[in-house]
């Protein structure tokens, strides 16, 4: 575990050193859980967004996109339930004055039981070697059984407390489990209180006329309130979807793990409107479609899992998360929810407008049901970074730091180097760059030895490097070096565009979805 934490720290440092992610307002020591994307980060982020957008909007005839405003009428958030119920249970430690999410403290405690079990398993695996049967060991080892029983009991108590919204019980669990504040080390806790996560501000020029409005905590409501506009102007027939990418804001109590939990972040959400009664079939379809989108990146199916929700929101009839194996465990990257007709019905009620669909096949009017797929851009970015980062031991004893980014997501697709700074090589290299820059991001580099230039490109995940040498001037060929294998081969300059587009374009990635 400590080793994984170390790797995570290195990834964060790498993100800063190579222009991917900087702490916001770093000159002023940063702002909690707010981050800026640098010159390479913004390219990677844009590529992730493009991959999602094109997969949703371009590849589905019945999905269209919108871009709604961040500010919305305040009643939207009353109707959606966010004003009354978008809360986290918080608890303060009286000695350190630090604030925590009560549910997160308990989830961490559950993870500790898992770690204890895992430790026993690893110890036994070493002891028994090849013949080790993990399932049998877990079913019979007294210590594992004890940890598992404690874990299950805690999980049940926790799920009940959440379901009943029982804040006193949450506090009691923290006391009974003897959970201590990581800063002060004491168990001197306040009561658990609810804390609304929405940021608010004032709109209007005078204090009297100003009204309180919120920074949207999810992009989904911009889609719901535009359902009628899009359905009518686009003459959309059910089933159809509306997709959107945009910023969302949450005043997270526990903001940690770098860009995993931020106060300002970006979501890619798609609401799929369907006929009532068909929603659970569509829920299944979207689970598969979204998993295929993730797995096309080639990170290995063992690094993903579905986590079906124990506790469903009162308006949902199915919900699952797609979790990815981060250095700090399997964590939610995307949520897929069957939200019934809750949101549209609420907006109809609060606005007094009829929000229905006239079905020309059955001559009936009804409020559509909704399947939502909701993924955080920043979490996706983090999962890509975590999976791609490697400190690779080379045969010659050296170590290289390389980002094995999926080529289609790489900020720079091709780097072009003149072998030396003379004999017309820089001019020839520049000619190649000028020709290819219309199709993808190309970088020209002449400083330092070739080996060092390769390393710099490895560190930002550039999939291909090209070296221009004397032979290039004679026969218009270059050496093309592959980032992952480090193999080099001679290719004609005229082939470069096709090679890069075939392996490193978003189109090539879209075609891998199955
Ligand atoms: N409209 C549904 C919705 O917003 P959610 O599970 O609260 O559902 C969806 O959020 C996704 O947004 C999450 O799976 C996660 O990827 C991302 N997300 C949520 N809160 C976040 C935060 N504080 N920082 C970064 N990403 C976040």
264-274 and 240-249 beta bridge pairing = antiparallel
Atom of ligand 1 nearest to the CA of 217: 4
CA 482, CA 465: separation in Å to the nearest integer? 7
Q: Is the CB of 43 under 6 A from ligand 1?
A: no
109-158 pLDDT tens trace: 998 999 999 999 999 999 998 889 999 999 999 999 999 999 999 999 99
Pocket perturbation via mutation, ligand 1, pick of 379, 380, 381 by most ligand atoms within 8 A of CB: 379
Q: At what angle do helices 377-388 and 39-53 cross, to 10 degrees?
A: 110
348 Cα–ligand 1 center, Å? 25
3-state SS of 1-31 is: CHHHHHHHHHHHHHHHHCCCEEECCHHHCCC
Site to probe by mutation for ligand 1, drawn from 49, 86, 219, 267 as the one with most ligand atoms within 8 Å of Cβ, is: 267
Q: Which atom of ligand 1 is nearest to the CA of 219?
A: 1
Query: Which ligand 1 atom is nearest residue 333's CA?
Result: 16
Ligand 1 geometric centre to CA of 372 (Å) = 12
Q: Are 102 and 157 in contact (CB under 8 A)?
A: no
Query: Strand, coil or helix: what is 33?
Result: coil
Q: How far is the CA of 267 from the centre of ligand 1 (A)?
A: 7
Residue 196 CA, ligand 1 centroid: distance in Å: 15
C-alpha–C-alpha distance, residues 375 and 497, integer Å = 32
- Which DSSP string corresponds to 58-72? IT-TTEEE----SB-
322 pocket-lining for ligand 1 (C-beta < 6 Å): no
* Letter string b/e over residues 249-284, b meaning 16 or more CB atoms within 10 A of that residue's CB: bbbbbbeebbbbbbbbbbbbbbbbbbbeeebeebbe
Locate 483 and state its tokens.
């980032």
- Name the residue at shortest CA distance from atom 22 of ligand 1: 261
User: Does residue 387's CB lie within 6 angstroms of at least one atom of ligand 1?
Assistant: no
pLDDT at 4: 77
Q: Is the CB of 334 under 6 A from ligand 1?
A: yes
Ligand 1 probe mutation, 48, 376, 385, most atoms within 8 A of CB: 376
pLDDT of the chain, 514 residues: tens digit per residue: 567 778 999 999 999 999 999 999 999 999 999 999 999 999 999 999 999 999 999 999 999 999 999 999 999 999 999 999 899 999 999 999 999 999 989 999 998 999 999 999 999 999 998 889 999 999 999 999 999 999 999 999 998 998 888 999 999 999 999 999 999 999 999 999 999 999 999 998 776 677 899 999 999 999 999 999 999 999 999 999 999 999 999 999 877 789 999 999 999 999 999 999 999 999 999 999 999 999 999 999 999 999 998 778 888 999 999 999 999 889 999 999 999 999 999 999 999 999 999 999 999 999 999 999 999 999 999 999 999 999 999 999 999 999 999 999 999 999 999 999 999 999 999 999 999 999 999 999 999 999 999 999 999 999 999 999 999 999 999 999 999 999 999 999 999 999 999 999 999 999 999 7
216 close to ligand 1 (CB < 6 Angstrom): no
CA distance 317 to 342: 11
The Cα–Cα gap between 38 and 18 comes to 8
Q: What is the pLDDT, as a whole number, of residue 312?
A: 82
First to last CA, the chain: 34
Whether 267 is in the pocket of ligand 1, judged by its Cβ within 6 Å, is yes
The reply to whether ligand 1 has any atom less than 6 angstroms from the CB of 252 is yes
Distance (angstroms) between ligand 1 centre and the Cα of 375 equals: 7
Mean pLDDT of the chain: 95
Residue nearest to atom 10 of ligand 1 (CA): 374
Per-residue pLDDT at 1: 56
Cis peptide leading into 182, omega within 30 of 0? no
The encoded tokens of residue 118 equal 């895992």
| Ligand 1 pocket mutation pick from 218, 244, 286, 338 by most atoms within 8 angstroms of CB | 218
Closest approach atom of ligand 1 to CA 380: 16
Tokens of 149: 């029983």
- Which residues 6+ apart lie within 8 Å of 302 measured at CB? 325
Q: DSSP H helical segments within 369-424, as ranges?
A: 377-388
Pick the residue whose CA is nearest to atom 20 on ligand 1. Answer: 261
pTM: 0.90
376 in contact with ligand 1, CB cutoff 6 A? yes
DSSP state, residue 438 = T
At 2 the pLDDT is 60
Q: How far is the CA of 502 from the centre of ligand 1 (A)?
A: 33
């Amino acid at each position: 575990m400590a080793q994984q934490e170390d790797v995570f720290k290195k990834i964060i440092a790498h993100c800063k050193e190579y222009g991917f992610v900087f702490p916001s307002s770093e000159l002023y020591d940063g702002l909690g859980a707010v981050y800026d994307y640098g010159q390479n980060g913004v390219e990677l982020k844009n590529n992730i967004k493009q991959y999602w957008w094109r997969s949703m909007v371009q590849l589905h005839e019945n999905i269209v996109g919108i871009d709604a405003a961040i500010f919305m009428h305040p009643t939207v958030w009353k109707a959606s339930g966010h004003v009354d119920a978008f809360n986290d249970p918080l608890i303060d430690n009286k000695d350190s004055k630090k604030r925590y999410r009560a549910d997160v403290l308990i989830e961490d405690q559950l993870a500790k039981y898992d770690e204890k079990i895992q430790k026993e398993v690893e110890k036994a695996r070493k002891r028994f070697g090849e013949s080790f049967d993990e399932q049998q060991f877990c079913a019979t080892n007294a210590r594992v059984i004890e940890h598992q029983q404690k874990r299950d009991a805690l999980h049940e108590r926790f799920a009940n407390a959440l379901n009943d919204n029982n804040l006193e019980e949450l506090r009691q669990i923290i006391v009974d489990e003897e959970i201590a504040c990581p800063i002060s080390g004491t168990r001197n806790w306040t009561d658990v209180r609810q804390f609304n996560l929405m940021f608010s501000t004032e709109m209007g020029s005078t204090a009297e006329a100003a009204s309180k409005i919120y920074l949207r905590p999810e992009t989904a409501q911009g889609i719901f309130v535009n359902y009628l506009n899009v359905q009518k102007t686009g003459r959309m027939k059910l089933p159809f979807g509306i997709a959107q990418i945009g910023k969302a804001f949450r005043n997270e109590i526990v903001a940690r793990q770098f860009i995993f939990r931020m106060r300002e972040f970006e979501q890619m959400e798609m609401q799929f409107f369907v006929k009532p009664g068909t929603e659970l079939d569509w829920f299944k379809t979207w689970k598969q479609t979204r998993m295929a989108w993730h797995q096309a990146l080639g990170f290995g199916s063992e690094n993903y899992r579905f986590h079906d929700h124990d506790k469903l929101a009162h308006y949902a009839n199915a919900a699952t998360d797609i979790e990815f194996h981060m250095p700090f465990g399997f964590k939610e990257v995307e949520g897929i929810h069957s939200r019934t007709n809750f949101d549209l019905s609420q907006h109809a009620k609060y606005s007094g407008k009829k929000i229905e669909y006239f079905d020309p096949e059955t001559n009936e009017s009804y409020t559509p049901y909704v399947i939502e797929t909701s993924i955080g851009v920043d979490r996706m970015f983090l999962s890509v970074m975590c999976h791609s980062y490697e400190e690779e031991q080379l045969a010659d004893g050296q170590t290289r730091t390389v980002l094995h980014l999926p080529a289609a997501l790489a900020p720079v697709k091709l780097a072009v180097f003149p072998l030396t700074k003379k004999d017309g090589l820089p001019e020839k290299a520049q000619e190649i760059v000028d020709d290819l820059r219309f199709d993808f991001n190309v970088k020209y580099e002449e400083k330092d030895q070739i080996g060092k230039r390769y390393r710099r490109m490895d560190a930002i995940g550039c999939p291909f490097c090209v070296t221009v040498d004397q032979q290039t001037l004679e026969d218009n060929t270059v050496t093309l070096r592959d980032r992952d294998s480090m193999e080099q081969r001679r290719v004609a300059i005229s082939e470069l565009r096709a090679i890069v587009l075939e392996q490193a374009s978003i189109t090539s990635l879209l075609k891998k979805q199955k």
